[in-house]
Amino acid sequence: MRTDHVSLWPGPPPASSPDSDFMPYLERLPAPEGTRSPRGAVLVCPGGGYANRAPHEQLPIAERYRDAGFNAFVLQYRVNPNLHPAPLLDVSRAVRLIRQNAGLWGLNPKQVAVCGFSAGGHLTASLGVHYGLGVLNTGDPLDDISCRPNALILSYAVLSGKAFRHAGSFTNLLGPNADPALVALMSLEDHVTPDTPPAFLWHTADDPVVPVANSLLFAEALSSNGVPFELHIYPSGVHGLGLAEARPHIATWMDLSVEWLRDMGW
């Protein structure tokens, strides 16, 4: 399937490590021909522990959302040796670019969902709770465009920086011996507010890598703040399932997330 590559930054990306020359970009999958326009968009953030970007959580996911009638994108964001805030700058920039080009790409700028897996789920939820951080404004005209997502889809996401955290993701994102204040900032369940976007979460109860408590704690925070959410906990399954095509019951998450978006008018 043809995709369009869209550079995120006009020059060197802000906050990049001197040890990295990676240039982050978007892969765009337009909505199918004949689809009602404008339609909502889904931006996919693959996982990989902030060390890489898992291929099976990229185009295979975006293609399913595209086939459901949405405009779909994959974010190729910076990972280690790039540290916070580099990945968050990339996802915020991506949302702003999608909204800036809404007319050109035939999408509704008020219907931009971000879908993340594992550490990509942490990146997704980070934007959901920290879209107002001053560090996300780089002095570019796009700063005037909101980077707040309209919805979050969190798949076996790394969310908490406390007892149930995935240590590797936090080390890759924040570096070794990170400032406790920065760890607290990125423990996302503590930063949910009534303005956090609605969320769809799914996890397996016995995930051996990212404990299910991550999704449960975040869902509890959403509930406490009156933020609409849908939560699915499947009884058993390994981490990193992606579409889970070999597990038909777990694979229902994709259709459920599409229905959830459609129920909100996507």
Q: Provide φ and ψ at 152, rounded to 5°.
A: -120, 135
- pLDDT at 69 (0 to 100): 94
Q: What is the DSSP string of 108-155?
A: EEEEEEEEEETHHHHHHHHHHHHTT-GGG--SSGGGGS----SEEEEE
Cα–Cα distance, 243 to 126 (Å, whole number) = 23
In this predicted structure, what is the pLDDT of residue 31? 75
pTM score of the predicted model: 0.97
Q: Which residues pair with 69 in a beta bridge?
A: none
Cα–Cα dist 13/207, whole Å? 35
Q: Write down all domains in the chain, each with its CATH number in brackets.
A: 4-263 (3.40.50.1820)
Burial class (CB in 10 A: 0-12, 13-18, 19+), 119: buried
Q: What is the pLDDT of residue 244?
A: 98
Each residue's pLDDT expressed in tens, for the chain with a length of 266 residues: 568 899 999 999 999 999 999 999 999 998 777 666 788 999 999 999 999 999 999 999 999 999 999 999 999 999 999 999 999 999 999 999 999 999 999 999 999 999 999 999 999 999 999 999 999 999 999 999 999 999 999 999 999 999 898 999 999 999 999 999 999 999 999 999 999 999 999 999 999 999 999 999 999 999 999 999 999 999 999 999 999 999 999 999 999 999 999 999 98
Bridge partners of residue 29, in order along the sequence: 72
Per the CB < 8 A criterion, the answer to whether 181 and 119 are in contact is no
Q: Of the candidates 37, 53, 35, which has an alpha carbon nearest to the alpha carbon of residue 90?
A: 53
